[in-house]
Structure 1
């Protein structure tokens, strides 16, 4: 029993180190050799990896801004990146696999090592090494405020905010949009059509309560309806936030 306790403690320690670190963007940039803003223009499978249900992938990134590691890029506007994925999903591994799609635009935190190949290569190591680029709050908020006053659909918000890849919902979708200034925006939707609510930090932007509606501007719902938006809907059981 005395031997078992240290072994368990070591196992927990190794497990915690294997998880994705809770780094800030600045801390993640310190740990990576290259940081770029880029768009995914090509994705292809390289081979199956020795680990079951794991595939080695190659993506081509079109670089729009180099934030670190310019000397490693050699002046190229496109770079090839290796990463692992699995048909079982991103969470099959800890740390999670990166998830890429064509035309995806974001900030990529890359290693430059031999981790996935016999030669030095740019490697996307874990899920959080791909980050959505913060939206310009000054440009987005006026458009969002105007749209929310007209009972928009989810597609209307996507045209303003773009596609979010951060879904923290359980039972319904809760998409998160990071702004360059101030709190993030969260959008709750059961089906990517109907909008249940839109928050910015702790402030509810939609539905608009009666006391929030300006002169001549009707509230989208009553206060009691607004409070009900926090509750699970019949068609999607689970928490809304």
Structure 2
């Protein structure tokens, strides 16, 4: 099946196998484009077109008809009803929406579903300040396979910077490490350096500190670079495998 589809709910897990007790390997966001590899009554096997990620989602809540005009630029954007009253629902950062109608403060992206204009940017907007995006997720809980305000893992934060900017970057740390160009360093870290371990990644925000989604601390936080390297080596027996830098 060669047709492109778009996910039309705020967020869903992507599973390794077509079963809700299977491992959650990633998530799919509103407006994310994919192809269907195979399907049955309950499940579809998909390939995300942005990064070729393959997995299973429930066979529902998607459409062929979606032409994104805007994207979410805050951690989570409240969805409002037709009376412009706030609902209990949100769209996650980097969701891609289509404008149906607009007024002074809101745009309608589905029938009777509205988003504040202050929460969005136009679809072609580029945000070169990666720290602005990474820091959106500070204190969000660590969640394996997560990539939203409900929980996020270390590789997702880095990938979302590129996804927001419509630039390819792999989903998983092992693939990110292979894809990223190695940087020669003499133990002096700089802002924008990406530090890779086996199964983990962090980004330097200056010469002293980094930001990452860190499992042992159960959240996204800023830590001292040297202390983090020593702690990971001491507790997980892992050493730094590669250092790259965000090139944009």
Q: What TM-score does the superposition give when structure 2 sets the normalisation length?
A: 0.27
Q: Highest Rg: 1 or 2?
A: 1
Structure holding more strand per residue: 2
Q: What TM-score does the superposition give when structure 1 sets the normalisation length?
A: 0.27
Structure holding more helix per residue: 1
